[in-house]
A and B are shown apart, each in its own frame.
Chain A
Amino acid sequence: AQKVTQAQTEISVVEKEDVTLDCVYETRDTTYYLFWYKQPPSGELVFLIRRNSFDEQNEISGRYSWNFQKSTSSFNFTITASQVVDSAVYFCALRVTGGFKTIFGAGTRLFVKA
């Protein structure tokens, strides 16, 4: 069975602080895909990144970076120099090869205060 755990329910930071959102996944499959989505207060889900299980290179996109470690089954997301607009719920998700559904974590709500 597959599972995604986002242990941090809520995180509150002050603007310009760095913040890391944790994601731990479980799967017995060797080929799988990991995703992060952002859900701002308006409600829509916005795709941020996709990672396949064979690519452990970390990725940086502007103030966002992702640390994928298969050894610990983690796919953590760091926001550098956070901004108020980063306030949202962030979801980590997993899909295994041949799987037709994406398993989502419970989400981490991030509050960034000015």
Chain B
Amino acid sequence: DSGVTQTPKHLITATGQRVTLRCSPRSGDLSVYWYQQSLDQGLQFLIQYYNGEERAKGNILERFSAQQFPDLHSELNLSSLELGDSALYFCASSVVPTGSGNTIYFGEGSWLTVV
């Protein structure tokens, strides 16, 4: 158990819909990361937050957005869903984002299936 909690674990939804994935970081971790793992793209970095502020952005679609709340939990919002958005979405956390040697710990992921 990494200490990072993600909900829901599994989600099936229809195209065009909107979903929200939730992440609670490990206790004491201020930085949260979101990754998408799809069959054809491997593991892709989406976005990172540190203490409530966006810190870095990767290959995140405009239909997707995220935020980190004052209690440090984070949500990833996926809208206008397409079949290609079906993937495993990971949340990860670390103590701080810089001093890059900080290990990031991953949650168990949220399986999203768009039908």
Give chain A's interface residues, CB within 8 Å of chain B. Answer: 32-33, 35, 37, 42-47, 50, 52, 91, 95-107
For residue B6, which residue of chain A has the nearest CB? A44
Residues of B within 8 A of A104 (CB): 42-43
Contact of A43 among B2, B100, B111 (CB under 8 A): B111
With A100-B48, A101-B45, A107-B42 as known contacts, state yes or no: A45 contacts B101, CB within 8 Å: no
For residue A96, which residue of chain B has the nearest CB? B100
Q: Is the CB of A107 within 8 A of B43?
A: yes
Q: List 23 A-B contacts (CB under 8 A).
A: A33-B101, A35-B103, A43-B111, A44-B106, A45-B90, A45-B109, A47-B103, A52-B101, A91-B43, A96-B100, A97-B100, A98-B98, A99-B100, A100-B48, A100-B56, A100-B97, A100-B98, A101-B45, A102-B33, A102-B45, A102-B104, A104-B42, A105-B42
- Whether B84 is near chain A, meaning CB under 8 Å from some CB there, is no
- Whether B8 is near chain A, meaning CB under 8 Å from some CB there, is no
- Whether B25 is near chain A, meaning CB under 8 Å from some CB there, is no
Q: Is the CB of A45 within 8 A of B106?
A: yes
For residue B58, which residue of chain A has the nearest CB? A101
Judged by DSSP, the binding face of B is strand
Q: Mark B15-51, 1 if CB is under 8 A from A, else 0.
A: 0000000000000000001000000001101001000
Q: Is the CB of B2 within 8 A of A95?
A: no
Q: Is the CB of B88 within 8 A of A43?
A: yes
CA distance A47 to B1 in the complex (A): 11
Q: How far is the CB of A89 from chain B (nearest CB, A)?
A: 10
Q: How far is the CB of B49 from chain A (nearest CB, A)?
A: 10
With A100-B55, A100-B56 as known contacts, state yes or no: A50 contacts B101, CB within 8 Å: yes
- Whether B108 is near chain A, meaning CB under 8 Å from some CB there, is yes
CA distance A103 to B33 in the complex (A): 13
Residues of B within 8 A of A33 (CB): 100-101
CA distance A96 to B97 in the complex (A): 12
